[in-house]
């Protein structure tokens, strides 16, 4: 049996854990640069505020105290997600994070009734230990677990935990009520093609001929139909496989053409990408740097350059990656443009543990490689212990244009010593 544990209104719930005054009031979390609403409380949804609503359209309601908007605090959300993961690992060693607020948990060797009891325990214990409300969907496959989780959220009589056995009347009822475009992995265009063929519900997709689905659509859709029928086709371990490329990018707080701003942004993204690279124990062979102007400002000259630079040898060392990214940036940068976004992508990744130098390649100096590895391990250890960015290569200027606008940022209560929660008696 597979369980999907999904945090309810996760970003807002994280904020409410440390600020109880937000309970029961409309709260929205904004995207980078405080641009638009990306997460909503139930109260905000009830007001009819849609996802993606620009923040400036809500300023009057914020001033009147009718709703609250917060800048996205990903450091806090990431740490709260890790705490939820630790609670789930008390129930099973096989937990696979699918996103920051969704995790699959594998419950092998348990009877159906036992799984339901475990799901109820998870529902209660995560709320008690972390303060985050979650819903739990249980089913024989990942796809059915997604539908079970959705049913647990929208149908109150489940009380946060729904089990679909795969071959029972409850499963059939949920599938018959679910439109095919709500099935995990079925997008809008595919749903339109399925509807043209007479498949409009999840139940009709489940009952379709697998060979016909494979021939007319794809192997992936055929597997989805089999998952709806209770046959596992997705590998749980596939979710935590190392990534084939690592992208780090972000929009600027305001458009800028200054070399110092763009250089700082690329340096920051390059060292952040190197940290992610070391976290999955990979080596990068090349670095891509790109710059974007604001495509919505038709009155300004547009430019979207990108340059790929090869690393001298496969590495995960920050200084080498930063230097290569800066070399690529010098080729991409043009001073007459006002850039709105910069990014660094690490390409052609290989597993560090199994990498072999090419026969005719020049290996890096062994002693220097050892010193670099120890330096990076020390740097990562300090940043994990003392907070992200405690030690960095170069500091950003206070008035730099590229850092994000975060006018409504809450404290990072769990990861910064100087932002701990304060109490008084």
Where residue 156 falls among pLDDT bands split at 50, 70, 90?
Answer: confident
**Could you read off the pLDDT of 107-142 as tens digits, one per residue?**
988 888 899 999 999 999 999 999 999 999 999 999
Token output for 212: 């016909």
Would you say residue 333 has pLDDT above 90? Answer: yes
The predicted pLDDT at position 35 comes to: 84
Q: Given pLDDT bands bounded at 50, 70 and 90, which one contains residue 251? A: confident
Instruction: Give one DSSP letter per residue of 248-288, joined into a string.
Output: EEEEEEEEE--HHHHHHHHHHHHHHHHHHHHHTTEEEEEEE
74-101 per-position pLDDT tens digit:
889 989 999 999 999 999 988 888 888 9
- Report the distance separating Cα 157 and Cα 99, nearest Å: 27
pLDDT score, position 145: 95
Q: What is the pLDDT of residue 234?
A: 79
Q: Give the model confidence (pLDDT) of 193-244 as tens digits.
A: 999 989 999 999 999 999 999 999 999 999 999 999 999 887 755 555 667 7
Write down the mean pLDDT value for the chain: 89
The pLDDT value given to residue 164: 93
- Strands (E) in 92-221, as ranges, are 95-99, 102-106, 134-139, 161-163
Taking residues 156-164, what's their average pLDDT? Answer: 92
**186 vs 356: which has the higher pLDDT:** 186
Residue 326 in this model has a pLDDT that exceeds 90: yes
* pLDDT over 70 (residue 361): no
> When comparing pLDDT for 369 and 120, which is higher?
120
**Which pLDDT score, from 0 to 100, does residue 238 have?**
53
The C-alpha atoms of residue 328 and residue 321 are separated, in whole angstroms, by: 11
Residues 6+ apart with CB under 8 A from 316: 274, 277, 278, 281, 282, 283, 284, 352, 376
Predicted confidence (pLDDT) at residue 12 exceeds the cutoff of 60: yes
pLDDT > 70: percent of the chain: 96
Confidence of residue 38 (pLDDT cuts 50, 70, 90): very high
**Average pLDDT, integer, range 164-170:** 89
**Whether residue 306 has pLDDT greater than 60:** yes
In which element (H, E) is residue 150 found?
A: helix 142-154
Q: How confident is the model at residue 313 (pLDDT cuts 50, 70, 90)?
A: confident
Model pLDDT, residue 242 = 66
CA gap 92, 326 in Å, rounded: 45
Residue 345 has pLDDT above 80, yes or no: yes
């Amino acid at each position: 049996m597979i369980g999907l544990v999904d945090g309810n209104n996760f970003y807002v719930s994280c904020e409410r854990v440390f600020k109880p005054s937000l309970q029961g009031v409309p709260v929205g979390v904004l995207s980078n640069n405080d641009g638009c609403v990306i997460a909503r409380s139930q109260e905000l949804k009830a007001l009819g505020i849609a996802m993606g609503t620009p923040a400036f359209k809500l300023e009057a309601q914020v001033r009147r105290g009718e709703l609250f908007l917060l800048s996205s605090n990903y450091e806090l959300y990431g740490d709260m997600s890790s705490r939820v993961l630790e609670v789930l690992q008390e129930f099973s060693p096989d937990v696979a994070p699918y996103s920051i607020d969704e995790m699959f948990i594998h419950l092998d060797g348990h009877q159906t009734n036992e799984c339901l009891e475990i799901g109820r325990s998870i529902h209660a214990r995560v709320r008690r230990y972390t303060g985050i409300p979650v819903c739990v969907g249980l089913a024989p496959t990942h796809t059915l677990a997604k539908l079970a989780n959705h049913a647990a959220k929208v149908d109150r009589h489940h009380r946060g935990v729904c089990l679909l056995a795969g071959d029972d009347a409850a499963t059939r009822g949920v599938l018959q009520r679910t439109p095919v475009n709500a099935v995990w992995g079925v997008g809008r265009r595919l749903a339109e093609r399925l509807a043209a063929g007479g498949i409009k519900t999840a139940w009709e997709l489940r009952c379709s001929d697998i060979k016909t689905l494979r021939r007319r659509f794809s192997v992936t859709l055929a597997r989805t139909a089999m998952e709806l029928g209770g046959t596992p086709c997705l590998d749980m371990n596939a979710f935590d496989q190392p990534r084939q490329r690592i992208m780090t990018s972000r929009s600027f707080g305001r458009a800028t053409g200054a070399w110092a701003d763009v250089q700082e942004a690329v340096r920051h993204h390059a060292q952040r990408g190197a940290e992610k690279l070391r976290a999955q124990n990979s080596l990068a062979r090349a670095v891509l740097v790109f710059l974007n102007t604001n495509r919505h400002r038709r009155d300004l000259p547009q430019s979207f350059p990108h340059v790929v630079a090869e690393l001298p040898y496969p590495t995960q060392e920050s200084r080498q990656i930063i230097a290569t990214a800066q070399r690529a940036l010098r080729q991409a940068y043009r001073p007459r443009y006002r850039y709105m976004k910069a990014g660094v992508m690490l390409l052609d990744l290989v597993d560090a543990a199994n990498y072999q130098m090419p026969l005719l390649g020049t290996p890096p100096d062994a002693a220097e490689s050892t010193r670099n590895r120890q330096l990076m391990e020390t740097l990562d250890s300090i940043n994990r212990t003392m907070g992200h960015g405690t030690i960095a290569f170069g500091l950003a200027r206070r008035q730099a244009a590229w850092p994000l606008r975060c006018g409504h940022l809450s404290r990072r209560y769990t990861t910064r010593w100087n932002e701990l929660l304060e109490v008084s008696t």
